[in-house]
Every structure is written in structure tokens, then in C-alpha cells.
Amino acid sequence: MTVLGLTACSAGKDKGADKAEDKKGSWFQKLRNTPKVEEKKPTTIWDALRDPKAEQVTKVNQYIWRAALEVLDFLPVKSVDPFSGLIVTGYGTPPGGNRAYRASIFVSDPSLDARSLKLSLQTKSGPVSMSTQRAIEESILTRARQLRKQADQF
């Protein structure tokens, strides 16, 4: 008797379930029939490697840029990107020094201001002291001010 009761309950279809399936089916059908937005496909290798959001170019203070290259001229330049304001150097020893340094310089703003310069110095054994880093930053900013003063005289 219990077997008949269970089979009787499962044999009939619920009309509410049919409506839900119809709604679900029509939703999936609409989704399937919706045209996709065509993406612009890269045509060259450079298009494929380019970040689509990277069209922004940072304006760089030319005096800080040149001063950083002049002050740290004892370091071999590994990478330079004047559009983003980044200079990366390899290890080099300053004249009269015995410790090798490397630097990453980021010029982030067109103003001749200390906030525009971000400097990271490192030795082979780790980061340098804050006093050494501040001294290098000050010498770069001082040289940048000198370069601007010279440019204003012309």
C-alpha cells in the first residue's frame, strides 16, 4: 500500500513546475539569441600586449628627470621610460665608495616638488638607511632646482 502511494505521488506532473520551466527556458532562449558585443581584436602582437587601460601618460618634471640621471650617473641604466617617469638602474659603486647600490626612480608629477620624486635605493645586502636615501633625494632635488634656474636664464 505504501508503494502505491509513493508511485501515485511521483507519477503526476506539477503544473507550477511546467510554468517555471517555461519561464526558465524562454530566458535561456533569449540569452542564446541575444547578439554578443563584438570586441576589438588585436591585429598585431603589440596590440595584444598593450593594456587597453594603459593609454594614460604621466607628465614628468624634466628637471627632476635629468637631475636624477646626472646625480646617479655612476649607476648603469637598465630601463628608462620617460612617458611613465620610471628609471631603473643596475648595481654600481659611487666614486670613492666601496658599496654597490642600485636604484629605482619614479617621477610622478610635473611639478618641481619633493612629492614628485620617489626613490628606492638598495644594496646587495638589502635596503639602505633612510638618511642615505634622503641625502640622495636632496641632491637630486637640489640639482633639479639648479637646472631650472639655468633654463630660466636663457
What is the C-alpha separation between 54 and 91, in angstroms, rounded?
A: 30
What is the C-alpha separation between 47 and 3, in angstroms, rounded?
A: 68
Task: Please identify which residue in the block is written with the cell numbers 646617479.
Answer: 72
Q: How many helical (H) and strand (E) elements, i.e. helices and strands, does the chain have?
A: 5, 5
pLDDT at 4 over 80: no
At residue 117, the pLDDT reads: 95
The DSSP H or E segment spanning 106 is strand 101-107
At residue 52, the pLDDT reads: 57
Q: Which CATH class is domain 62-153?
A: alpha beta
What are the boundaries of each domain within the chain?
62-153
Contact 110, 57 (CB under 8 A): no
C-alpha cell at 58: 604621466
Q: In this predicted model, what pLDDT tens digit does every residue of 82-115 receive, in sequence order? A: 888 999 999 999 999 999 999 999 998 898 989 9
Confidence of residue 37 (pLDDT cuts 50, 70, 90): very low
Chain centroid, CA 86 distance in Å: 12
Name the DSSP letter for residue 92. Answer: B
What is the C-alpha separation between 91 and 154, in angstroms, rounded?
A: 36
Average pLDDT of the residues in 113-129:
93
At residue 131, the pLDDT reads: 96
